[in-house]
Amino acid sequence: MDTSNKRTKNLSLLNAFLRLSRPFTCVTSALSVLIAGAYAANSLPLRLIVSSISAAALAAAGNMYNDVIDLPVDSLNRPERVLPKGQISPTSALIASAMLALFSLLLAWFANYKVLLFAIFTAFLLWSYSNYLKNTVLIGNLLIGLLSGMLSVYGGLAVGNPLRPLLLGLVTFVGITGREVLKTIADFQGDSIMGLRTIATAWGTHMSLRICQLILIFFIFTTLIPFMAHQLGFKYFLLLLIGVLPIVVLSLVKLIGQPSVKTLRFVLLVQKFAFISWILAVVLDRFV
């Protein structure tokens, strides 16, 4: 009976650490590196696979560290998360974050020294965001978008061709920046109580929503650039029309007026599917 309870407790703890790492972000980070590297090299070498795991581990480390820093705010905005619920202590989360960061750098070193240097720079930006740039108007949102776009460079460096996948990085940068702006609107109430300075608390939710809509419209145009630049073909264009454009249009419609927090959370969720659909469009056009 004691053994069974211990096993259940260990599984619950493992599940809590997994949720704290935000698996969706980790998986999409790894896929972004893999796809960008394969796109640049027309192959899937071992160093690229290792680099993708490194990126996923670094994303998990950054997510855990950020949640520790954000614990007071999340206690208001997202009380259902792991740390506010007390499922894991902040100290344990920091230890796990440090271990994952070291693991990530070790894998990056195995890939090549350029990937290692890039990983160290990325880790510094993640630390800067959590400690200094998160509580800023738009700068923090742009930085997260930039970090997401840099994953394409991460993959390109692994195969020795960081410039070729830059257009993919541009699409990611615009899409993630828009999503980050939307997050600040959804978290407006808690951020206001905590006195945080974000685009929503500084410029108001109405202005922030209009900016988010403009970014989403710009995102549509950026997804077309790889097709217009003849880097991706008609299959990519068709898949955009079927799988990405309807979700973005739905998001734009839902953001009209003054949507509720529930609606904002729904839009944040469906935008994940838009990103997955875009990744599939790239993969199916380039490799299938």
| Dist. CA 274–CA 245, nearest whole Å | 8
- Asked if the structure places residue 130 within a domain, the reply is yes
- Asked if the structure places residue 283 within a domain, the reply is yes
- Asked if the structure places residue 215 within a domain, the reply is yes
pLDDT at 1: 46
pLDDT at 134: 83
**Angle at alpha carbon of residue 267, lines to 264 and 268, rounded to 5°:** 90
User: Which residues, other chains included, contact 264 with Cβ-Cβ below 8 Å and sequence gap of 6+?
Assistant: 182, 185, 186
pLDDT per residue over 146-175, tens digit each? 999 999 999 999 999 999 999 999 999 999
Q: Provide the domain limits for residue 132.
A: 24-287
Other C-beta atoms closer than 10 Å to the C-beta of 77 total 21
- Asked if the structure places residue 191 within a domain, the reply is yes
277-280, long-range: CB < 8 A, 24+ apart: 277/239, 277/243, 277/244, 277/247, 278/171, 278/175, 278/223, 278/240, 278/243, 278/244, 279/28, 279/31, 279/32, 279/35, 280/239, 280/243
pLDDT at 2: 65
- Whether the CB-CB separation of 187 and 77 falls below 8 Å is answered with yes
Other C-beta atoms closer than 10 Å to the C-beta of 221 total 11
- Asked if the structure places residue 37 within a domain, the reply is yes
pLDDT at 135: 81
Positions in the chain short of pLDDT 50:
1
Structural domains counted in the chain: 1
| Dist. CA 199–CA 278, nearest whole Å | 27
- Asked if the structure places residue 81 within a domain, the reply is yes
- Asked if the structure places residue 9 within a domain, the reply is no
**Is this model's pTM higher than 0.85 or not?**
yes
Q: What distance lies between CA 256 and its chain's CA centroid?
A: 25
- Asked if the structure places residue 114 within a domain, the reply is yes
**CATH code of the domain in which 114 resides:** 1.10.357.140
pLDDT at 118: 96
